[in-house]
Chain A
Amino acid sequence: MTPAGWTIRALLRLSAGLVVWASAFVFLYAGFSLGCQAWAPSPDEGLNNPVTFMLAGFAVVHLSVLALLGWLWWRRPVAADRGESETSRRVRHRVEGLVLVCSILALVWIAFPVFMVAPCAG
């Protein structure tokens, strides 16, 4: 891998969880807007409608990706590499983990209303 490729991969790893969170946010917001245009379920239907199912699907898929990233993070070795000391690598590893935890919390926090609010009301 080129030095530039290594750098980009490292920067992406640092922010990977939040990139997934951002993707989830876009899918939930856009999916809800377009879903309500396409299906326009009545608020009386409650949560039993295709928009809620779709949004729940988006949330679960993104949570699964975050879980996968967490597993990969757990298994990743932390060692000196390409001139970077082990101490420095360990700092990056901890930041990656913290960002992943933060992303999971943030996703659960913004997605739980999908399971509580009729999507197209208001």
Chain B
Amino acid sequence: MNDTVGTAEDRRELTRLFSTPPGLGRLAAVNHSVIGLRFMLVAAMFFILGGLLAMLLRAQLAIPGNEFLDNEAYSQIFTMHGTVMMFLFAIPLIEGLALYFIPKYLGARDLSFPRLSAFGFWCYLFGGLILLGSMFAGVAPDTGWFMYTPLSGREFTPGINADVWLIGVTFVEVSAIAFGIELVATVLKVRTAGMSLGRMPLFGWYILITALMMVIGFPPLILASVLLEIERAFGWPFFDVALGGDPLLWQHLFWLFGHPEVYIIFLPAAATVSMMIPTFSRRPLAGYHWVVGAIIATGFISFGLWVHHMFTVGIPHLALVFFSAASMFVALPTTIQFFAWLATLWQGRPVRRLPMLYLFGFLFIFVCGGLTGVMLALVPFNWQAHDTHFVVAHLHYVLIGGFVFPVIAALYYWLPLLSGREVSGRLGQWAFWLLFIGFNLTFLHMHLTGLVGMPRRVYTYPEGLGWEWLNLLSTIGGFIMTAGFAALLLDVLATVRTGARSKRNPWQGGTLEWSLDHPPAVYNFASLPEVTSREPLWEQQDLAIDIREGRGYLARTRNGWQETLGVQAISGRPDQIILLPGPTYIPLITASCLLVFFLSFLLGIYWLSAIGAAASLLAALRWAWAGGLDRDWPDQYAGSGLKLPLHPQVIEAPGWWGMLAGLLCNGTFFITALFGYLYLWAVAPEWPPESFIATGILLPALTVVMALLALMAFHQAVRVNRLGQGGVGTVLLASAALSAAAVVGCALQISTGLPEPTTHAYAALTTFLLGYCGLHALIAGVLGVYCWLRLRAGYVSALRSLDLRLSRVWAGYTAAVIVIAVTLIQGLPLLLGVGS
């Protein structure tokens, strides 16, 4: 149909619609390419900082008895090195990478929630600046990047060093959660036509599983950070043994996050490998479904290994064996991926290009890191090597081999696409050999340094222990590696500024991102293609030309809308047109309100912190208000004779999936809190407490009933609205009132039935759980009023019911957590015969 073919005028209009305003307007950017690049650039800055810190550490350890740094400075530097590299470099870099490339791989114009990724960027930047600022103020965290209690408790760290870590990292984690939700919804819903799950590029699978792992993996650390910060600020003794807490609870919560994080970092790097090797082997990846299965298996099994970081804390043998076995088993899915890559190279016609050199470095180094990982999974060996430099060497082999080398390969691979410039290669090869030699010179014999007994985190050591030459070699290697990174930086800058213009698709890749302009237009695709294979550019001749010349879906512009296709998640059949938001300051404003909350909490100005929290909630509601449609629209032409509804008018809108992903995250937080509650009950030495909750049965029963009635009211509102009947507003107000009653019920249980939370971990955790329930009921009440206002303003109709349905899901979750928490809190003491 000629009327659906895009014109040059359409492409100009697309450019105008998707562009970021100049000047201060850049602060309003939401476009995924802009946000992705910002993430990657800021992460690179933090990488340089983390590298400089590492050089200081190596300089200090070069010779015995060195007085270059004192104990305090060394502690701050190694803590910040780990923190910066893990939280401010590795995770944000993969976020940037995924945000930038996922729409380009999936054939979309942007992400499902562009404002959410912009919000995530500001949270990352602000959290990073809090941590960075603490270094210049001399109050940087100094108790290791894992903040073990009781060292990080108020007694042993009285300054704000630990608070900086807890608050800064939590702020950054808000960004990670936003990323997880964004990417789950995007990969499932925002793809081009024909891209079923079975045809999705492996990059999509890797990012989907990584995003789900982040959604589930980060809440334990957020919970741990919140609990420790509350303990430090208000004296609630979650980790204080004398008052019923347990420092090992911190270790469990931290490593519940910490070990999956290794795979959260590795999987996106493996994603880039799985995209590069087929391109340079000139054939599709061998064993696609084997790799998909391996990715899913890694996602699950990596959550069953955390205790191998705690083998020396005194755990019964059988538990050690469970975790030892799981730690070894996770090598299986990783091995499957390796064999798939090797089989692809074997069956293909590999060509030697610069990214392949770095992939060789990755294959060699990561295999070594994997093997020492299997060694550390063996309990007797672990007991010997624990907290020695062997572990330092192992983790660097895994993280630099498994993340940094493939990411550099990916940088060179995508540089022509990102910059429009050709990669020259000479300096890049020099950089590789400096990095490869420097890395192994730093870390290979560091295994031996550990095996001969040098512990981690000591700022100096005496002569005569046989560690001198090993450390000196490591320091020399570290500086060679630094020279390699400097050469790499120089090469990339030279390429971007003075490199020759790259031709299109210089590596002859088969996936959709190579059909784009180099660098890509702000809207990515002038028209969205119908794909029929996983490597459409190899299988569908002239596809790239058709895309550019507007012979595809949504080639025409209308109504000033930014549009992209939404598909049925499994089949890839188009089922909606997603309307994307334009530039807005609201993500920055919301993140700034959160900054007020976090910063004032850090400084102990709690009244200001409360204002920051309230302002954040208001900003979030204002944000939500800006979405949706104020009238019903008929289905719109999408091209190729297809008519589709707009996304606010369909059941399975991206927002629905975003809510599910958000509640998955929230639910993990809640379940982890329940784990903490039961863990302390079963294991902590100073239990049982002197008294348990004493509210009688009426108050908790009423709280549960109010929450269930509120859910029923929301359900009724959705039903009445769908049938087009009157009275929706009244039902919504009733749901708000019932939610408010549930809030009061939770508050009364805390105030009348519990001892002071500072007296025992039982009272502290019970107060925390009831507070969590009350907060959720409060938000449900606010949503009731919000929906009522939306209804009055004309944003809700029988066709446009997303607001109501999302609020109902929230109310359902709230009712579920209230039922579970109240039953557990009231029932467990009775069940064990200790309650009144």
Contact = CB atoms under 8 A, between A and B. Distances in A.
Interface residues of A, number: 49
A117 B317 contact: yes
B296 A6 contact: no
Interface string B277-321: 000000000001110110011011101100000000001111111
B317 A121 contact: yes
A10 B188 CA distance: 12
Interface stretch (B100-108, B192-200, B406-414, B712-720): B192-200
B575 to A, nearest CB: 7
A4 B566 CA distance: 13
A98 to B, nearest CB: 4
A95 B570 contact: no
Main DSSP-derived SS at the B contact region: helix
B199 A102 contact: no
A68 interface: no
B300 A21 contact: yes
Contact of A2 (B300, B301, B651): B651
B148 interface: no
B831 interface: no
Interface string A18-57: 1101100100110011101100000000000000000000
A6 B571 CA distance: 10
Given A29-B322, A91-B288, A122-B315, A109 B570 contact: no
B263 to A, nearest CB: 14
Interface string A51-81: 0000000000000000000000000000000
Contacts of B196: 84-85, 88
A4 B319 contact: no
B573 interface: yes
A99 B570 CA distance: 18
Given A3-B568, A98-B293, A99-B296, A120 B316 contact: yes
Given A22-B300, A99-B297, A110-B329, A34 B682 contact: yes
Nearest to B570: A10
B197 A102 contact: no
Contacts of A103: 297
Given A22-B303, A90-B198, A102 B332 contact: yes
Interface in B492-540: none
Contacts of B292: 91, 95
Contacts of B549: none
Nearest to B652: A4
A92 B197 CA distance: 8
B297 A7 contact: no
Given A22-B300, A98-B289, A28 B570 contact: no
Interface in B304-349: 304, 315-322, 325-326, 328-329, 332-333
B683 interface: yes
A69 B656 CA distance: 29
A28 B333 CA distance: 22
Nearest to B199: A88
Contact of B573 (A83, A98, A120): A83
A89 B322 CA distance: 35
A102 B197 CA distance: 21
A56 B612 CA distance: 52
Contacts of A6: 570
A9 B316 CA distance: 39
A26 B304 CA distance: 9
A28 B301 contact: no
B649 to A, nearest CB: 14
A4 B576 CA distance: 14
A121 B333 CA distance: 32
A112 B317 CA distance: 14
Contact of B296 (A3, A82, A95, A119): A95
Nearest to B300: A18
A29 B656 CA distance: 35
A113 B682 contact: no
B385 interface: no
A36 B315 CA distance: 12
B304 A25 contact: yes
> Which residue, B198, B317, B651, has most C-beta atoms of chain A within 10 A?
B198
Nearest to B379: A122
B368 to A, nearest CB: 24
A19 B198 CA distance: 21
A121 to B, nearest CB: 5
Contacts of B651: 2-4
Nearest to B328: A109
B569 interface: yes
Contacts of B573: 82-84
B326 A110 contact: yes
A85 B568 CA distance: 13
Given A33-B319, A87-B198, A120-B316, A109 B296 contact: no
A98 B290 contact: yes
B93 to A, nearest CB: 27
Contacts of A10: 197, 569-570
Nearest to A10: B570
A91 B198 contact: yes
Contact of A121 (B293, B299, B318): B318
Interface string B195-207: 0111100000000
A2 B329 CA distance: 37
A4 to B, nearest CB: 5
Nearest to B333: A102
B296 A105 contact: no
B181 to A, nearest CB: 16
A21 B298 CA distance: 13
Contact of A117 (B297, B318, B333, B656): B318
Contact of A7 (B289, B290, B304, B570): B570
A94 B289 contact: yes
Contacts of B318: 32, 113-114, 117-122
Nearest to A55: B318
B656 A4 contact: yes
A43 B290 CA distance: 42
Interface in B613-669: 651-652, 656
Interface in B545-571: 568-571
A119 B316 contact: yes
A55 B570 CA distance: 38
B189 to A, nearest CB: 9
B322 A28 contact: yes
Given A84-B571, A99-B296, A122 B289 contact: no
Nearest to B573: A83
Contact of A102 (B297, B303, B656): B297
B296 A110 contact: no
A103 B289 CA distance: 16
Contacts of B333: 102
Contacts of B321: 113, 117
Interface in B138-155: none
A32 B319 contact: yes
A89 B572 CA distance: 12
25 contacts: A3-B651, A7-B652, A10-B570, A15-B300, A18-B297, A18-B299, A18-B300, A22-B303, A25-B304, A29-B319, A29-B322, A82-B571, A84-B196, A84-B570, A88-B196, A89-B198, A92-B198, A92-B570, A102-B297, A105-B332, A106-B301, A109-B328, A110-B325, A113-B321, A121-B316
Given A32-B319, A95-B289, A122-B316, 11 more contacts: A6-B570, A19-B300, A84-B198, A88-B199, A95-B293, A99-B293, A102-B297, A109-B325, A109-B326, A119-B318, A121-B318
Interface of B: 188, 196-199, 288-290, 292-293, 296-297, 299-301, 303-304, 315-322, 325-326, 328-329, 332-333, 568-573, 575, 651-652, 656, 682-683
Interface of A: 2-4, 6-7, 10, 14-15, 18-19, 21-22, 25, 28-29, 32-34, 36-37, 82-85, 87-92, 94-95, 98-99, 102-103, 105-106, 109-110, 112-114, 117-122
- Among all A-B residue pairs, the 9 with the closest Cβ atoms: A88-B198, A91-B198, A98-B293, A122-B317, A84-B571, A83-B573, A18-B300, A88-B196, A83-B571
